[in-house]
C-alpha cells in the first residue's frame, strides 16, 4: 500500500482544541508515527516556532540553560519536538506556565509517555493535556474521520454495511501496519527491511533516554515474545520463562515498552456479574505490521516456523489497534477492557463509558460464523440490561447480519466505513 500523498490526521482538531484552553499540550506516541509532521503543521498554522531535541546542538542548549531555552519566544507558540530527550526542561516549563497561565504556550511531542516518567508526572500534572498519536488509521488512509465508536454507542449496528474485502485483504492491511514509513514503502521487501531496523533503533536510543534498566539489550527478544502473544492474556510466569528473565524483574521492562508505545495492556473488566473473573490483562503490540513481521506472518498466512493460529491473532491485533486509534478523536471516551471468567465465558473487547454504557466486540478472522460464536456476548447483554448499547461480531465475510436484540455480525471494514 503506497500512500505518497499527505494524510490528514484525525487527531489534529483535538490538538487545536486543547491549545485553545491549556497551557501545555503534549502529543505523544511511538517513534515514526507522525508526531513531528503533525506538530510542524500546527506550528506553521499558528505562526509559532519549532525546535527539535533530536538535534545535538539544540539538545545541549536545552540542557545547559533550560529556563532561557523555554522562554526564547515568549509571545509565540513554542513547539519542542522529542522533549523526552531533555528532561531538564520539565521544571523550567512548570515555572514558566505557573508565572504565565495563558493557554497555548507550548506544544510538546514525545516518543514516550511523559506522564509515566518519574521526572515529569508530578511537574506537568494539572498544567498539561496529553493526547496520543498512533500510526495511520484505515480511515485516515481513506481520507475520512472514522466514527465507528460513536455510532456504536448511538445504537448503530451497521446492518446496511456490505464489504468486498476478503480475509486475505484484511491480513494484507494488518501486515502493512500503520507506521507512515512502512506504509509508504513500495514493496513488502522494503517494508520488512524498515521494520527489521525499527526495534533496534528504539532500543539504542529511546529506551536509553528514559530508562536505567540493566538489561536493555534483552528488549528485542522480549518484544518478539510479546508479538507472539499479542491479543492474548498476559501470563507473566510463562513470558519470564521464555525470556529467561526472573519474573519479579519483568514488570519494569513491560512498563518501559508501554511507555515507549510499543505495547498496550488492556485490563480485565471488573464486574460484580461473576466472582470467577480472570483478572490478567490482555497484551497488544500497538502496530500489527510490526507484530506480523516479528512472528513471521505475511498476507499469505503464517510462515513455516510460525504458529498456525498466528494469522488470526494478527487480524485481532489489527482490529484492536484500529479501535485504540479511534479513541483519540471519538466524542465518546470509553475505556477498553476484555473479559474472561473461569467458566469459559469470554468477550474480546468491552468498551465502557464513564456513565456506565457498555458496548461489546468479538473478533473473528473467519468469513462464516457459528451459532455458538454469539453465546458469550449474548449473555453479557442479558446480564447488564439497559446499560448495553450494542454488541458486534466483527468478521472477514461480506455482509452484516442481525443476531438478536442489539446484536449483529458485521464485516471488519465497518470500522473505517463508519464516518462522522
Q: Which of 44, 50, 57, 34 is nearest to 107 (CA)?
A: 50
pLDDT of 1 over the 60 cut: no
The pLDDT of residue 22 is 97
The pLDDT of residue 186 is 87
The pLDDT of residue 305 is 60
The pLDDT of residue 189 is 93
pLDDT of 337 over the 60 cut: yes
Higher pLDDT, 93 or 299: 93
pLDDT of 3 over the 60 cut: no
- The cell 457459528 sits on which residue? 370
CATH topology of domain 12-132: Rossmann fold (3.40.50)
The pLDDT of residue 276 is 60
Distance CA 381, CA 350 (A): 11
**What integer best gives the mean pLDDT of the chain?**
91
Q: Tell me how many degrees the CA angle 262-349-133 measures, rounded to the nearest 5.
A: 35
pLDDT of 274 over the 60 cut: no
pLDDT, mean of residues 368-389: 90
Q: Which of 368, 418, 416 is nearest to 393 (CA)?
A: 368
Please report which confidence band the pLDDT of residue 117 belongs to, taking 50, 70 and 90 as the band edges.
Answer: low
Q: Which three three-digit cell numbers place residue 177?
A: 501496519
Higher pLDDT, 389 or 278: 389
Q: How far is CA 5 from CA 2, 112, 134, 184, 235, in A?
A: 9, 27, 18, 10, 42
pTM for this model (two decimals): 0.93
The pLDDT of residue 419 is 72
The pLDDT of residue 63 is 94
Q: Which three three-digit cell numbers place residue 23?
A: 497551557
The pLDDT of residue 122 is 64
Q: Do 83 and 209 form a contact (C-beta atoms < 8 A)?
A: no
The top-scoring range by mean pLDDT among 216-225, 271-280, 392-401 is 392-401
Each residue of 49-81: pLDDT tens digit? 999 999 999 999 999 999 999 999 989 999 999
Each residue of 312-328: pLDDT tens digit? 999 999 999 999 999 99
Each residue of 154-198: pLDDT tens digit? 999 999 999 999 999 999 999 999 999 999 998 999 999 999 999
Q: Delimit the domains of the chain by residue range.
A: 12-132, 138-417
Sheet of 346-352, strands arranged across: 335-340, 346-352, 358-363, 388-395, 407-411, 401-402
Each residue of 12-53: pLDDT tens digit? 999 999 999 999 999 999 999 999 999 999 999 999 999 999
Segments in 102-217 forming alpha helices (H): 121-124, 138-142, 148-153, 167-176, 180-183, 188-201, 207-210
The pLDDT of residue 392 is 97
Please report which confidence band the pLDDT of residue 153 belongs to, taking 50, 70 and 90 as the band edges.
Answer: very high
Amino acid at each position: 500500500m503506497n500512500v505518497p500523498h499527505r494524510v490528514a490526521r484525525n487527531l489534529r482538531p483535538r490538538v487545536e482544541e486543547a491549545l485553545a484552553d491549556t497551557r501545555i499540550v503534549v502529543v505523544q506516541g511511538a517513534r515514526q508515527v507522525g508526531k513531528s509532521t503533525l506538530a510542524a503543521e500546527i506550528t506553521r498554522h499558528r505562526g509559532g516556532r519549532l525546535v527539535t531535541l533530536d538535534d545535538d546542538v539544540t539538545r545541549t542548549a536545552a540542557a545547559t540553560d533550560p529556563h532561557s531555552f523555554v522562554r526564547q519566544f515568549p509571545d509565540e507558540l513554542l513547539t519542542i519536538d522529542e522533549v523526552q530527550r531533555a528532561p531538564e526542561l520539565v521544571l523550567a516549563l512548570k515555572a514558566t506556565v505557573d508565572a504565565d497561565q495563558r493557554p497555548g504556550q507550548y506544544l510538546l511531542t514525545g516518543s514516550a509517555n511523559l506522564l509515566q516518567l518519574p521526572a515529569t508526572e508530578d511537574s506537568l500534572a494539572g498544567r498539561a493535556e496529553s493526547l496520543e498519536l498512533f500510526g495511520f488509521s484505515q480511515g485516515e488512509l481513506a481520507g475520512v474521520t472514522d466514527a465507528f465508536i460513536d455510532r456504536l454507542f448511538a445504537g448503530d449496528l451497521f446492518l446496511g454495511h456490505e464489504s468486498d474485502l476478503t480475509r486475505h485483504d484484511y491480513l494484507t492491511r494488518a501486515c502493512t501496519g500503520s507506521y507512515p514509513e512502512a506504509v509508504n514503502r513500495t514493496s513488502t521487501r522494503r517494508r520488512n527491511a524498515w521494520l527489521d531496523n525499527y526495534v533496534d533503533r528504539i532500543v539504542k536510543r529511546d529506551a536509553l533516554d528514559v530508562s536505567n534498566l540493566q538489561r536493555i539489550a534483552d528488549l528485542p527478544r522480549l518484544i518478539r515474545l510479546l508479538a507472539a502473544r499479542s491479543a492474548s492474556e498476559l501470563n507473566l510466569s510463562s513470558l519470564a520463562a521464555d525470556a529467561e528473565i526472573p519474573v519479579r524483574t519483568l514488570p519494569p521492562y513491560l512498563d518501559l515498552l508501554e511507555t515507549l508505545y510499543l505495547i498496550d495492556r488492556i485490563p480485565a473488566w471488573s464486574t460484580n456479574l461473576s466472582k470467577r473473573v480472570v483478572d490478567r490483562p490482555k497484551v497488544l503490540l500497538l502496530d500489527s505490521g510490526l507484530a506480523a513481521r516479528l512472528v513471521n506472518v505475511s498476507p499469505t498466512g503464517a510462515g513455516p516456523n510460525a504458529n498456525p493460529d498466528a494469522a488470526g491473532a494478527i487480524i485481532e491485533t489489527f482490529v484492536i489497534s484500529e479501535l485504540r486509534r479511534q479513541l483519540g478523536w471519538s466524542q465518546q471516551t470509553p475505556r477498553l477492557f476484555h473479559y474472561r471468567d473461569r467458566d469459559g465465558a469470554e468477550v474480546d473487547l468491552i468498551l465502557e463509558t464513564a456513565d456506565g454504557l457498555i458496548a461489546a466486540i468479538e473478533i473473528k478472522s473467519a468469513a462464516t460464523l457459528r451459532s455458538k460464536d454469539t453465546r458469550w456476548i449474548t449473555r453479557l447483554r442479558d446480564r447488564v440490561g439497559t446499560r448495553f448499547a450494542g454488541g458486534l461480531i466483527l468478521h472477514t465475510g461480506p455482509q452484516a447480519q442481525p443476531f438478536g436484540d442489539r446484536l449483529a455480525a458485521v464485516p471488519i471494514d465497518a470500522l473505517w466505513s463508519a464516518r462522522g
